[in-house]
Structure 1
């Protein structure tokens, strides 16, 4: 019999705030974290806005010397992990066995910023001036590895790299580790810090990013006038814990992770399969895994990128899976406020899903002004809704045809 898995701690660094509390407060009040782009020179490019993390000092969480040897995405992951472990009341090696505590943190891109800076140095000054730490600075698994080292977690250590589904896949894969009895606790989530010249150039040239210069309207999921996503950065980490282990130590339980579905489109490198066929299967698998019927779902935290095909096909997928109940559901895209955190998106949105259950508040889709005839669900336009929320699903869909769905339930 598979073990039950609950969430006992959460931590986040986002464009809305450098704690879960600050982020959630702005989220439910419909405040945007998107602002004019500052990390690179916006004069050179069409994109003018981003969801940047503000006023973050890695030395609040990491030794100064060690922090200099890490990428920004790793800084975020360590900070969010330390917050989550503290929130869970865990001390590895004391009230949890280090060899039964693992880490699974995904990143879609890793330390591309550090790679770009060292490459400029290589071209200008030659190979001997390149940092000996460049490889561990930028490889995507290093966030998970560094968190393990910082916290002393010695069980399975892994990293899912599935583009914009990385955070959700990492949580789902860590969930399976506990379900199957391999660990008691998993530190799981995603992290990203890819607001760089190359990233923005690449996404812009494939017409994926919004070129709307107004930070107050650039990210507008499900709106007829959407014109692309807004790139963002940050990290979301959850502490997954085997139920009996959590109960035995008297842990506070946010909710239960009950189901996980992951599929591949086998269709196209960037465009989702028509009608969200792969996303449909991910949702069906996750609901079946959780033993939850579609009509029991109260809220969907949508992938909702503010791109034409994602919003259209995700809406069609929801209608296909839920039938008439699709029109009773609340569906919102919190990317309207955070922007798209790429490999961290699914993890941050998992935290929002858990808090929607705990707090009884469904975050809105802000910047929703013009309806699209083909997008006719209840997207919680502009203002959060208070509601009894027992079951939430969170969708994450990534380039390469990666689809991941997580099912969260109120703990009983």
Structure 2
């Protein structure tokens, strides 16, 4: 029996805020929402940004900003802090909590030519080994252990300096929100902090106790598919490890293991889920999320897995990483933004509009993000009463063939995109794809991308008979988060299915002249599709090195139709009744999270399994704490070779 991988939970954090309950999506279409939805999202942002805190005793908000404090109702909080919430989210100038882009620390090499003699005093134990030939060292008689050093030749010194970063815009988490505040994050690199809070948000979004999910399946029928592209490059990960010798410090015991790009999966298994099931960490540059999603979808479809947690956590807002992408000419510098807008050399560019997919642009905007989705097979979702937000039916991955440049595009993305569209046509028919599908473009905001990606879409639209094919690009709002970039696209897509607005590319004034758009519709304002009903989305990703991937995602409306056909109306009605309780639990978590009570799951050293307590037989292994055993009846597909 082929199983349908349905999306039953999603969560995380990006520059748009919290993902669960569609809050991050709602931030991107905030102007198009009705008042209740808009106000809920704004209140949630204001609380997570620590501008106010909820007082449970009074049922009001306590405001400590600029005084002794006062209690405010929702309306007063919104009146006072809405502008802060809007300004402190999405792409903006990098905040100083990361580093000062106007005065970033670096070392300047300074050759010193002594006029006569350079002399200084130091401890003998601090002398370099071997001693430079030009150094003359004399012990100080009345100061044991100290020496005087005389240098008569040129000395090259590295002097602490400051310089302005050429790139200053970034997609960063909402101002004031720090994941380390929500659990004991001691010595955790920032990306792994992201993994904990993102996966926790996704688990809570299920509305089903995780223990109930675990008890419903065999332990090895759960899989976690997660990684990141850039590893952990901050002080607590590889960055600190690689810098210690140059800094004269010591490498810690944590920096090397915590720097590995498999750690997002390991942290979710060890500290959030306590899983002994399948684990995978696939990396494919900017297509990393879709690579992991493909593995999860294939495993569920084939029956190898019944539950899959898929996601990524990336924290690249470091001067070294921005230097690296900047040296490639991949990032939108302030200088180039000024040129695009005709500003004077000393003018402040519009960092809010740094990312301009399919418009006149100058490079992408780097970002941080953590996004996780939970998939189940359709039978398990029905039996547990899970709320289904869509289905991921296919993910296609293809390379580019021989290349001259590692970052140049090639034919691989034509193949992935064509396959994705063809698979949807085969399942739902040409009319559905022609009338009720849209594209979540990679939309990196580089001049090359706007031409090459739009040409793919336009040519395939012509082949499949699609006119005015809606194309959006979430990077205009949250930037390019590298590994989770396509997860950002999926989070936005689920919001489109729920609310019916395709986010317009509001950072551009017009579509660039060299964009291929004869068959496309690239909206500059939110596109209202509530009457049209979008039922299919194509998530497209183009990663460095020919890492092309495209996913086909179905709306919950289509999924419900498929389930009714498969299980019958009576069984579907029973599922809907079970689902009501799930939705009530989701709403309760959403209310707490809107008050910045995220209930972050972090089980360090809890529920550890005694290996001696494993009950092992020839047919199964019983693991303490798990209701069902791991089956050891594993039919070999190669037995036919012996016949």
Distance 1:265 1:199 in 2: 26
Distance 2:497 2:205 in 1: 18
Task: Give 1:296 shift.
Answer: 5.7
Residues 302-311 or 362-371, more deviating: 362-371
Task: Give 1:10 shift.
Answer: 0.6
Which residue of the partner structure matches residue 36 of structure 1? 93
Which residue of the partner structure matches residue 541 of structure 2? 396
Higher relative contact order (CA 8 A, sep 6+): 1
Distance 2:297 2:208 in 1: 18
Cα deviation 1:277-310 (Å, max 9, x = unaligned):
2111001222344534453651101000100111
Residues 11-20 or 192-201, more deviating: 11-20
Contact 2:330 2:363 (8 Å CA) reproduced: yes
**Residues 1:270 and 2:407 aligned together:** yes
Q: Secondary structure at the match of 2:213?
A: coil
Alignment equivalent of 2:170, drawn from 50, 63, 79:
50
Cα deviation 1:64-93 (Å, max 9, x = unaligned):
1xx223221121122111111111134344
Q: 1:22 to 1:52 in 2, by over 3 A?
A: same
Alignment equivalent of 1:287, drawn from 421, 426, 446:
421
Residues 151-160 or 383-392, more deviating: 383-392
Distance 1:109 1:170 in 2: 16
Where does the alignment leave 5 or more consecutive residues of structure 2 unmatched?
32-85, 103-163, 338-348, 562-643
Residues 97-106 or 385-394, more deviating: 97-106
**Residues 1:215 and 2:351 aligned together:** yes
Distance 1:121 1:51 in 2: 29
Contact 1:106 1:344 (8 Å CA) reproduced: no
Contact 1:263 1:403 (8 Å CA) reproduced: yes
Cα deviation 1:237-284 (Å, max 9, x = unaligned):
1101100000011111001111211111133311212xxx21110012
Distance 1:106 1:320 in 2: 33
Contact 2:398 2:549 (8 Å CA) reproduced: yes
Which residue of the partner structure matches residue 252 of structure 2? 131
Q: 1:359 to 1:341 in 2, by over 3 A?
A: same
Task: Give 1:360 shift.
Answer: 1.7
Task: Give 1:116 shift.
Answer: 2.2
Q: 1:58 to 1:159 in 2, by over 3 A?
A: same
Where does the alignment leave 5 or more consecutive residues of structure 1 unmatched?
none
Which residue of the partner structure matches residue 568 of structure 2? none
Structure 1 segments (4+ residues) deviating >6 Å? none
Contact 1:18 1:56 (8 Å CA) reproduced: no
Residues 230-239 or 262-271, more deviating: 262-271
Cα deviation 1:320-355 (Å, max 9, x = unaligned):
222174532110111001011111111121121122
Distance 2:278 2:491 in 1: 22
Instruction: Give the 5 Å matches for 1:97-136.
Output: 97=217, 98-113=219-234, 114-126=237-249, 129-136=250-257
Residues 289-298 or 184-193, more deviating: 289-298
Which residue of the partner structure matches residue 24 of structure 1? 25
Contact 1:303 1:333 (8 Å CA) reproduced: yes
Q: 1:199 to 1:326 in 2, by over 3 A?
A: farther
Residues 188-197 or 355-364, more deviating: 355-364
Q: Which has the larger radius of gyration?
A: 2
Task: Give 1:198 shift.
Answer: 1.6
Contact 1:262 1:405 (8 Å CA) reproduced: yes
Q: 1:334 to 1:80 in 2, by over 3 A?
A: same
Contact 1:28 1:384 (8 Å CA) reproduced: no
| TM-score, with length taken from structure 1 | 0.92
